[in-house]
Each structure stands twice: as C-alpha cells, then as structure tokens.
Amino acid sequence: MPDVSVTIDGTQINVPVGTNVVDAARLAGVAVPVFCYHPKMKPVGMCRMCLVEVYTPKVDPATRQVVMGEDGKPVLALMMNKLQTGCTTPISEGMVVNTASDRVKFAQKGVLEFLLTSHPLDCPVCDKGGECPLQNLTMQWGPDSSRFDYEDKIHFEKPIPLGDLILLDRERCILCSRCVRFEDELADDNVLGFGSRGRSWEIISKSTPAFDSKFSGNTTDICPVGALTSSDFRFKARVWELKSTPSVCNLCPVGCNTSLDMRYNELMRVMPRENDAVNEIWVCDKGRYGHRYAVQENRLTTPLIKRNGEFVSATWEQAYSLIAERLGSYSGAQVAGLAGPKLPNEDLFSFARLFRENLGSNNLDHRPGSPADLPLDDLPRTYGVGKGTNLMTLGKGTAVLVIGADPEEEAPLYQLRLRAIAQRGGDLTVVSGYPTKLERSATRKVRVKPGTEAQFALALVQAVAAEKLASEEVLGSGRLKFSDEYRRVLAAHKFDDLVAATGLAREVVITTAKAFASAEHGIIVYGRSAAADPAIPQALAAFAALTGKLGKANSGLIALRPGGNFRGALDMGVRPDAAGQPGLSAQQVWQQAGTGVKAVYIAALNPAAENPAAAQALQKLDFVVVQDLFLTETAQYADVVLPAAAVIEREGTFTNAERREQRFRQARQAPANLPADWQSFQAVAQLLAERAPVAVAARTLKKGAKVFTPEAPQGWTAMLTSDVNDMVTRSVSGYNAASYSALSTSRGAWGRQPNEAVYYDGTSYENTEGVGIQIAASAEDSRTTLQLNLSAPALRPVGELVLLPVARAYDGGDWVRGSKLSARQVPAHIIMSVADTARLDVGIGELVTVSSAAGSITLPVQIETGLDLGVALLPEVRGSTLGALLTGAQTAITVVKA
Amino acid sequence: MALRDIHGAEIDTLLARYAQRRSAVLPLLYIAQDTYGHLTDDAVREVAEIIGMPATDVFEVVGFYSLYYTKPMGKWVLQVCDDVPCCFCGAEELITALEQALGLRAHGETTRDGMFTLERVKCVAACNKAPVLQANLDYIYNLTADKADELLNELRRRADSGEQLSVSGRAATV
C-alpha cells in the first residue's frame, strides 16, 4: 500500500493510506487517548476522547491546487474549523496533526470531566481498578476536579447480570459500545445492544439465554471501565496482587495463549495472552472459565489400589511396583495404552516410549475407542498449512474452504479468525450438511445434502481436471504421485453423479473450485463431520495439492479433531499405526478385551463415561491402570488409580491444529506434590527396565534405585520436563527446532507500542514468554514426493433417517467441574427437522427412542428449522452415549415417539 | 392468540413491502402494541421471531422510541403539548383540568378503569392551533380547559361503542 507523509506533533512519519490519526500517532510514538476506539474494530467516534487538531493543506476551490504560502510551504487549514476525532479521521498527504495543543487539552479535560459526571468513585472496590483505562486516562489527561455536583450523579442498581457470566454496572458504563461491537462485528453474536435512550441509555442483552455468546468474557477485557465484570473473577483479587504465568489452553486444538493469574497458589482468573498467529488477543469462554477443574477439592491426591473390590490408599512405590510387575508379566501384544489428546507432548512421548520400548507393544491410541472415534488422519503432517502461517494477516487473495466442520463448536476461536478473513476481503466458502454459525459469515454458503461432503470433495478434485485448474508448478515438479486407487476412484465417480448426490448445481462446485484454485493462498479447514469418512480428507488433500495450495505459508489443510493436543498425540506416536507392526486401536482393544488384550493403561481418558461397550470391556480385563485427576467412571474399573498434576501444575508443550508447538509454564503447586503424567510413565518404565533390563540397553543399577534418580535406566533419566523435551527434539521428526529456549522467543504483536497500557490496559497480556514455533509440513521440503490417494465415499446407509454425530464446545466433559459454564452444558438430545418431528408428532423436549443396528437410546428432541428431512444430528455431549448407537460415519436409525 | 393468527395477512403485506424483512420492524411493533395493549417482553420477542431479527436488536428499537410503551397503557393515550406556544394558550390549565377529571397526574399515569393514560409531550407541530392534545395520536386542536370534560366523554363513548382503538395511532386520521 502506498504511504502518505504526515506530521504528528512535529514528527514526520510515513504511514499506509487508510490509517486513521490515532493509529498513525501510535506509529509516531504519540499516545492519543481513546475509550471507544479499539484497533481490532471499526472506529465509531462515540466517546470523543481522541479529539485532535487536524490541519490539511489548503486547496484553492477554483484551481484545485494546493495554496502555497510566502515561505513556499502549503498553507494549512484546520479541518472543518474544529477538533476532529482521531479514530474516524483517515490521514491524508501533508496532514499535520496536533495532539497536545491547549485547545486539544481543553477538549480532553472536558470530555473526561463529562464522562466522569456520573461515574461512581468506587475504584477501591472495582475489579477493574489497577488496570483501568479510565483511571489511567484520567490521571494523564483528566481534570483534577469536577464542576458537577456530586449529588447529581445518576444512580442505578448495581450490578445487574447481563448473563450468568457477565455482570453490568450501569453507573460505571461510559457507553463506548466496545462490547456491543465486539459481539456484532467480531463474534457475530447479536446479543448485546443499547436499551432506552438519553440518560437512561444502557447495555442490554435479550438473547435466550441472556448474553448467549461463546466469547462473552472478551467484553470484560476490552471494557475500558469496570462496567463489565466476570462472575468468575468478581471480587476475587486486586489485579496488582496477581502473578501471571504464561499458559496454553488445551481444551480445543486452537491452542490459545493464556495467562493464568495466580495469587500465591490460587487460580484467580484466566486471561488471553496475545499471539497474532493463534488467538490474537481473544480467548473463548471455555478457555477462560473452563480451567477451574484443576482446583477442585475432590481431586485425587494419593494412588489407590483396589483390594477386595475397594480402593485403598497406597504409596507411590507400591503403586508403581504393582503396575510394573503386572504390566511386565504380559507379552507386548497383551497390553495396551490409551492416553488422551489433552496431555502435553512430553507425556504423550513418554507414554509411547513406555509401550513401544519397555513393554514392546504398539497397542497405543489417543482415542477413547468409541464407535464415535474418528479414523486416524495424518494428512496435515504433509499437506498442512506451511510454516509461517498467520491467519490474522490474510484477507483479499485468500480462499478458505471450510467443509464438514462447525468451527465455533469444535475450535471456537476459528469462528472469529475465519470470519475476520472474510471481512478483510477473503473468499470464505462454508460447505456443510446442516446449519453452522460460520456460514452466516461466508462469501459462499454451500449447503450439501447431509452426509455428502465426500461427494462434494471428490467433485472438487474432478473439477480441477475438467476446468484445468491444476497448478502448472506442482504438476511440472513431478512430485505428485497418484495411486492406482486414486485413478480407479476418479474413473468410478463421474463429476455429474457426484454433484447430483450433493444436491447442488454444478456451477456451485465449479465456482468454489475456481475461487480456491485462483487464490494466492488457499486454506481448507475440515472438522468432525469431514474426518468421519477418510475419503474426505484424502480428496481435500488431493484438491489442495493439485491446485498448488501446499508446502507454503498460509496454504494447506487444517484439521479440527477432538482434543486440544490431538496433533501432538499423532506426532508423538500415541497411535496404533506409528511403528512398523500396527498395533490395536482403542476400539480393537475393547473388542479383544479379555481375549487378546489382558491389561490396559489409561491416562487422561474416560472411555467408560460415553461408551457402554468400553465399560463392559474394562471388566473383562485382568489389570487396568487409570491415571487421571478425578475418580472418573473409567477409574471405577481400575485396579490401580494414579493421580496426576493438572496442566496448570506443571510445564510442557502442546501442538495446535496448525502444528504450532507452544510452551506453557507451571502456575501452581500441585496438591500433595503430585507428579506430572510423564513422571509416572517414567517411574513405571524404570521399574520395568530393572525387571527386564534386556528391554533397554543394559546398564548396572544400584540395588533399590529410587525413581527419578539419575542412575535410573538409560533413556529414562529425565529430571525436568525440559529433559523430556530434549528427547522430543532429538527424536520426533519436525520438532528438532522446537527446544524450550526457542519456544520462548517472542515478537511484538498486534502493533502494541510501549506503554500502551494507558489505553489497552486489562485487554490482554502482552506476550513476553514465547509465541511458539510452527512445525513445517513435510510438503514444504521440495524433495518429498507426494503420494495422493482417494477412496470411494462412504455410502449413505439405507434407512428411515440418517444420524450424524456433531461436536459441541460445551460437551459436559470433565473440564466443566467447578466452571461457571456448568449451567450452559446441555443434556443429551437429538436434533431433527421440522418435517420429521411433525411426521412423528413430537414437540421440543419430548422423548423419542432412537434405534440403530447397534442399539437404542431414548432422548429428548430439539427441532432445527434449517435441517433437511431424513437427517438427525446427535450432539456429542456427556450422556449422549453415542457409542451405543453408531455403526459408522453415518448411521441408519429409526425414531419413534417414546 | 399469536400475532400471526390475528394479523397474518397484514403482517405478510408489511413484510412484502420492504426489500429487507427487518425494515418492517416499526409497523410490526405497532401491531403488537395494539394487540397486547403494550409491548411486553414476549410481544417484542414474538416480533423478533416473525422478522428473524435478534431479539436484542428489536428491544433496542423499542427502547429508543417514546411511542413504544413497555408498561400497560389506557385505551386512550392522551398527550398534551406543554411547549411554549401551547402554554401561552392554556396548556397548563388543560392539564390541570384533565388531571382533576381523571384523578391522576400527567406523568404517564393510567386511570384505574384502564381508559386513559395522560402524558405531557413536547411540541407536536401544530402550534397554530394551540393548545393541542393528541388522543391516540389523533390531533385535537384548540382544546382549552373548558372543553376537557366534553372530550373525555366523547372518547369514553367511542371506546364503549366498540370502535377499534389504537394506542399506536394506527387509526389516527392525520
């Protein structure tokens, strides 16, 4: 963009065309005070705090030429002959801005005096006190006294709830509309507005439930006063008492950077930590309010061993010895390990080593083994978005294809980030078989017949050939190899048949393919519905590869799968297919429980909660170890239960959906000094190695060597989490550059200037502790050949209705414990179309019995007006027992009124 | 009965009149107000549902305009102008007469029988015929205090006659 030259308070500076005066001043190192303006949102000029003197060169109306003065310089004229709001005034060539003249100071003082006419003087009891822009700006720019009568201050009942999470103090509100605009513009939740008028003007929320937004907490951050406070943090602490620890949220694969604000050992609040490439300055409510589980009283604190059907407390030595003894007594094929995708990389790496090296078992999985599990899919390792990807920088020239995903439910921050790309001029196509929120922001909303995303994806591949959309560069490089199956599938599925199956017009598919192929950057985001059928990721990878959207920054695939660190689990090898001889998947483990499989070690997973088959299988096993924070449904079946430190009580790394590895730190001392999960894995491995030293390199051991000692068996000598990380960087492909010190490197973000706390105070934490390192996709190495494969789409089952499982952010999982969001968790239900519910004569909330070949369950009904006839959606929430019903990616069901 | 059942045809006509459904929000709110007497929370939500607007946005509209009533009103809403020209011509005397006749104060209070609500308003743009009162937004010109009783009787008679009244002014003739 061309630059224009402006002078701000005597400093000449070149700034891009379109920059407003406030932002231009920031670039020149001049702070213009603001309340309503926020760089992430459109300016509105409501608060009048940024009034400045703006002079532009005088233009002769007759000649349209700049009038030159006697000194040879342009004659300047005060714009509109009055002060201008800096946020709504774009700079122009030759502009001279004065932010500190007497006239401006007079206006600023006046605005602040006016804003304070009704603002209460309750800073000592206000949660915002200490990080309040109104305090800061009043100190720097405000008057020292007010001419208004103190008794005339307007009083409101305080506070009133805007929703169950956010409280509104109307006396403190200065009506800047930052919260309203955030919800409307960024989050696309039209849940806040202005009620009444004049002096009674106030923020209202009339949605059901009130303030129904998954991003509501962010409004408390950007509120420049203490009007919006969070029920989670209200009156908990003064902000200056808090110590911030950099952390990373592991509740979904976005990997938002957070700051855990601690007072001593108490978690006071979770705040976003800025990272342009991940969460900008936001965090969803799940990430903000969903970490209280770690501070619950009912956490496990000692190992438990089951004796005569009762759990009794045991010492760590007893527990570890028993585990090592029992696990070691089986052959590798008889033991299996399941470790959840919310565990950090260090744990997953150690877990995989324990099984592969010490137990000689490849029976590893990070999925719970339910029929609702998604097939393994590691295509983003090759075709994922390249190193240097930063969605915040994308707009015009970028095409984003979202298919079979509901980003707000699966990875909420993507709702904001993908919508923002569309708002900046990017081309956003949302392909879905059922209504999703993101499609409201789409350039192209493509509603396929439910369950035909695979046909759509294959049609895109066919369109590449038909419309000659293939990238010459990629085809010419000779890197693409096509399997025989690829050719067979393409030959067997004609474009017109595929399009007909989706129920779309062929132009829709062709336009989508062309928009993607012709864009400079192309990103494909696919989620739960797409990943359920392996044919879809394969076709999407082929489409991205053929159109040249691979192996570079801002192009490629992004998979959204369950688990905040699913990407780490795949990379660290907690998967049955990682080694030469494939092991059993979690589903196979349950099927072979008691026959082929005798013992299972389960960490951070709760399969019994959702899957009755897993609960039965657990009872058939000889020996079960469960490692978790709580005595979960699964732990009830365990022979040994090991507690562990929560994420906030240890350090480690997570890898997010874009393969960005990020480091989090320890914020809290674990109760009873509980070990991190990897420490228990290591302790067991050390004992196993002692028992069977042949399993690892022989080394003389001191008799009775304790766990965690440097003399421990070779390879299991980690003292600190960073020691495990060293091993990860040495042995996991792609992670060699991601050492802890490298992960700590920070760069400035969102153009925050020094000392901007004056007006962005309390907004989010500046990132000083590392923005993470993106792991390169293997397609970025130009020597790799790219083997493309395709599969025939899963056939739509024949039946009265087809059931599709859908993801939900508020899934009622273990993270809900102690969370303010517990009220927002919905009980299990089935979602059906208007026509189907009318046919069955059932209304909202009435019970139906849903039956498939696998089993049947009874659930209340919800009606979705946008849903097609013949399809039912079953949200994956606690209690839905999806496992009892599903027979594949799509399940034929019958529904009768219960 | 829901709005759709009572005023379905009129609502469809209104919705068809505009390029965007949300443009019909003001007339639909008037219909809801007349149907339910005032705009209850449920009534506003019903309008939001019909138009397909977020409920909050419709509440913003209701809060902004003074002619949407969120508390119960009389069958007749009497709005007396107390701006300068009307005052010169006897508006205060008129207000006092009405207050005495109705036994209430002109702060938006409603008679116990639910017949009249009395409000003061600012200029209603008929200064040449002051003092002016609006009865359900129909102008009553040159209304001096001595004519107050006569007017009230006439309005009561009209209400009792079963005439369709509209506090939203949908029946107003000017």
Domain boundary residue among A111, A136, A168? Answer: A111
Q: Which of A206, A207, A208 to mutate to test the interface with B (most CBs of B within 10 A)?
A: A206
Mind telling me how many Å the CA of B150 is from chain A's nearest CA? Answer: 36
Contact A190 B64 (CB under 8 A): no
The highest-confidence range among A114-123, A695-704, B43-52, by mean pLDDT, is B43-52
Say if residue A857's pLDDT is above 80. yes
User: Domain count of chain A?
Assistant: 4
Mind telling me how many Å the CA of B49 is from chain A's nearest CA? Answer: 12
Residue pair A860/A590 in contact (Cβ under 8 Å)? The answer is: no
Contact B63 A206 (CB under 8 A): no
Say if residue B156's pLDDT is above 50. yes
| DSSP labels, A54-102 | EEEE-B-TTT--BPB-TTSSBPEEEGGGS-EEGGG-B--TT-EEESSSH
Task: Note the pLDDT tens digit of each residue in A151-166.
Answer: 888 899 999 999 999 9
- Which range is least confidently modeled, A712-721, A734-743, B117-126? A712-721
Of chain A, the percentage scoring pLDDT greater than 90 comes to 82
Say if residue A694's pLDDT is above 80. no
Mind telling me how many Å the CA of A131 is from chain B's nearest CA? Answer: 30
Mind telling me how many Å the CA of B66 is from chain A's nearest CA? Answer: 9
CATH number at residue A826: 2.40.40.20
Tell me the CATH number of domain B76-167, given options 3.40.190.290, 3.40.190.10, 3.40.30.10, 3.30.70.360. 3.40.30.10
Residue B56 contacts A where some CB pair is shorter than 8 Å: yes
Say if residue A751's pLDDT is above 70. no
Contact B55 A206 (CB under 8 A): yes
What ipTM does this complex have?
A: 0.91
Residue B55 contacts A where some CB pair is shorter than 8 Å: yes
Nearest CB to B56: which of A196, A197, A207?
A207
Chain B: residue nearest A210 by CA? B56
Q: What pLDDT does A705 receive?
A: 38
Chain B: residue nearest A199 by CA? B64
Residue pair A405/A399 in contact (Cβ under 8 Å)? The answer is: no
On chain B, the residues whose CB falls within 8 A of the CB of A182 are none
- Which residue bears the tokens 């009133």? A160
Mind telling me how many Å the CA of B29 is from chain A's nearest CA? Answer: 16
Whether A754 maps to a domain, the answer reads no
Residue B63 contacts A where some CB pair is shorter than 8 Å: yes
Give which of B106, B135, B141 is closest to B120, Cα–Cα: B106
On chain A, the residues whose CB falls within 8 A of the CB of B63 are 194-197, 204
Residue pair A431/A403 in contact (Cβ under 8 Å)? The answer is: yes
Contact A197 B64 (CB under 8 A): yes
Say if residue A377's pLDDT is above 80. yes
Same domain, A323 and A346: yes
Same domain, A334 and A391: no
Whether A373 maps to a domain, the answer reads no
Which is it for strands A623-627 and A599-603: parallel, antiparallel or unpaired? parallel
Say if residue A196's pLDDT is above 90. yes
Same domain, A625 and A702: yes
On chain A, the residues whose CB falls within 8 A of the CB of B64 are 194, 196-197
On chain A, the residues whose CB falls within 8 A of the CB of B43 are none
Chain B: residue nearest A211 by CA? B56
Chain B: residue nearest A189 by CA? B54
- Which range is least confidently modeled, A193-197, A422-426, A621-625, A768-772? A768-772
Residue pair A117/A134 in contact (Cβ under 8 Å)? The answer is: no
Whether A359 maps to a domain, the answer reads yes
Same domain, A320 and A419: no
Q: What pLDDT does B151 receive?
A: 97
Contact B55 A208 (CB under 8 A): yes
Count other Cβ atoms within 10 Å, centred on residue A267. Answer: 20
Of chain A, the percentage scoring pLDDT greater than 70 comes to 96
On chain A, the residues whose CB falls within 8 A of the CB of B44 are 206
Say if residue A700's pLDDT is above 50. no
pTM of the model: 0.94
Nearest CB to B56: which of A193, A196, A197?
A193
On chain B, the residues whose CB falls within 8 A of the CB of A194 are 60, 63-64
Q: What pLDDT does A693 receive?
A: 53
Whether A705 maps to a domain, the answer reads yes
On chain A, the residues whose CB falls within 8 A of the CB of B54 are 190-191, 207
Spatial distance between the Cα atoms of A654 and A668, rounded to a whole number of angstroms: 18
Nearest CB to B59: which of A193, A197, A208?
A193
Residue B42 contacts A where some CB pair is shorter than 8 Å: no
Q: Which of B56, B62, B64, B70 to mutate to test the interface with A (most CBs of A within 10 A)?
A: B56
Contact A194 B63 (CB under 8 A): yes
Mind telling me how many Å the CA of B105 is from chain A's nearest CA? Answer: 22
Say if residue A706's pLDDT is above 70. no
Q: What pLDDT does A703 receive?
A: 44
Same domain, A712 and A816: no
Mind telling me how many Å the CA of A823 is from chain B's nearest CA? Answer: 22
Chain B: residue nearest A204 by CA? B56
Chain B: residue nearest A198 by CA? B64
Whether A347 maps to a domain, the answer reads yes
Same domain, A14 and A74: yes
Spatial distance between the Cα atoms of A470 and A512, rounded to a whole number of angstroms: 14
Same domain, A526 and A632: no
Beta-carbon contacts of residue A725 (< 8 Å; ≥ 6 apart): A345, A346, A652, A653, A739, A740
Helix or strand or coil: residue B73?
A: coil
Same domain, A867 and A833: yes
Whether A591 maps to a domain, the answer reads no
Beta-carbon contacts of residue A102 (< 8 Å; ≥ 6 apart): none
- Domain extent at residue A741: 304-367+599-745
Cross-strand partners of A788: A482
Residues of chain B with CATH 1.10.10.1590: 3-64
Whether A44 maps to a domain, the answer reads yes
Contact B63 A191 (CB under 8 A): no
Nearest CB to B56: which of A196, A197, A205?
A205
Q: What is the mean pLDDT of residues A134-163?
A: 90
| DSSP labels, A484-514 | HHHHHHHHHS-HHHHHHHHT--HHHHHHHHH
Residue B54 contacts A where some CB pair is shorter than 8 Å: yes
Same domain, A521 and A649: no
Q: What pLDDT does A154 receive?
A: 87
CATH number at residue A348: 3.40.50.740
Domain boundary residue among A745, A762, A783? Answer: A745
Same domain, A518 and A385: yes
Spatial distance between the Cα atoms of A739 and A248, rounded to a whole number of angstroms: 16
Chain B: residue nearest A194 by CA? B60
- CA end-to-end distance (rounded Å), chain B: 30
Residues of A contacting chain B (CB within 8 angstroms): 190-197, 204-208
Contact B57 A205 (CB under 8 A): no
Same domain, A615 and A650: yes
CATH number at residue A21: 3.10.20.740
Domain boundary residue among A559, A588, A609? Answer: A559
On chain B, the residues whose CB falls within 8 A of the CB of A208 are 55
Q: What pLDDT does A698 receive?
A: 36
On chain A, the residues whose CB falls within 8 A of the CB of B57 are 190, 193
Give which of A683, A660, A620 is closest to A774, Cα–Cα: A660
Average pLDDT in chain A: 92
Contact A190 B59 (CB under 8 A): no
Task: Note the pLDDT tens digit of each residue in A469-518.
Answer: 999 999 998 899 999 999 999 999 999 999 999 999 999 999 999 999 99
On chain B, the residues whose CB falls within 8 A of the CB of A435 are none
Nearest CB to B59: which of A197, A206, A208?
A206
Whether A451 maps to a domain, the answer reads yes
Mind telling me how many Å the CA of A196 is from chain B's nearest CA? Answer: 4
- Which range is least confidently modeled, A332-346, A883-897, B91-105? A883-897
Spatial distance between the Cα atoms of B70 and A771, rounded to a whole number of angstroms: 51
Task: Note the pLDDT tens digit of each residue in B61-103.
Answer: 999 999 999 999 999 999 999 999 999 999 999 999 999 999 9
Mind telling me how many Å the CA of B31 is from chain A's nearest CA? Answer: 20
Handedness of CA A773, A778, A782, A783 (dihedral sign): positive
Contact B55 A195 (CB under 8 A): no
B3-64: CATH topology is Arc Repressor Mutant, subunit A (1.10.10)
Size of interface A-B (CB pairs under 8 A): 36
Mind telling me how many Å the CA of A190 is from chain B's nearest CA? Answer: 6
Same domain, A647 and A542: no
